[in-house]
Structure 1
Amino acid sequence: MTERLTAGDAAPDFTLPDSTGKPVSLSDYRGQSVIVYFYPAAATPGCAKQACDFRDNLGDLTKSGYAVLGISPDTQAKLAKWVAAESLPFPMLSDTERTVMKEWAAFGEKQMYGKTVTGVIRSTFVVDPEGVIALAQYNVKATGHVAKLRRDLGV
């Protein structure tokens, strides 16, 4: 497993397709702060709660200078259905090969119901305008995470 990223590390750049198939790169956001979050699966209860929390708080996050990108191993087609169903107004990116997740240490061994499994590690990062990790949070909870993140960011 890749070593976990911490504040001060350069954020690994990536280009992934969004729910419409359009390529989105982290470098597209250079000059502004961006929240990059990794989640296990679109259209599941926990992931829907987290995505809808980001959706419902997007106005305040945007006013404070933050863009939001969600990344999962789902296909572009599955993401397209989910984005439409939940009216998600920010890019949801498809990392079916889990390449970006591995580079960001958001895929690997984790504890789930007392067992060690391999999968997506629910994680959130704040990348500053220069492309440096300002905040790295691993093993976050789906429920209440956006409220905690807002407190951490003073938003």
Structure 2
Amino acid sequence: MRIGAIVLAAQDVERYLKAVLPFMDSRDPSIGAALRRHRKLERSTLGPLIDQLTMASVSPCDDFRQQVGELVKRRNDVVHRFAETYGSQLKTGQHQQVVASLWVLEASLLAMRDALAEAVACLLEALRDTTFLGTPEYGEMVEACASFRRAARSVPGS
């Protein structure tokens, strides 16, 4: 059960990163350029997306980079190297330690997912209140923003 929750949370993180990252590039801040950058990210996976996030980060310390890098490593250990990572513990009956490790990873991914969901909501609301303000589509953006916030609140683990 925990492994499935970890995979789903990581997929949410990927999806939210793909929504936010195109707007973090200041070279061409136009909506058209952001949409082109978004299309380029469609097939990107968690590791490269996190790399892009850390490169775009204005954090003055390496602590952020280390933490998200470790999060990706731990997720990859579960998804790609489960037997190598946990096999010996499981064979020696240390099931509780494995479960505890999976709980911690899931909690970390859920925290990142929730922070990114809030960033996406703020981005949508900023677009609503700038780009779409005074346009015929403004009402649709109001509903889209409200719908996104409702959906983000209803996600299991929130």
Same fold (TM over 0.5): no
> So what's the TM-score if we normalise by structure 1?
0.22
**Bigger Rg, which one:** 2
Write 1 or 2 for the structure with the bigger share of helix. 2
Write 1 or 2 for the structure with the bigger share of strand. 1
> So what's the TM-score if we normalise by structure 2?
0.22
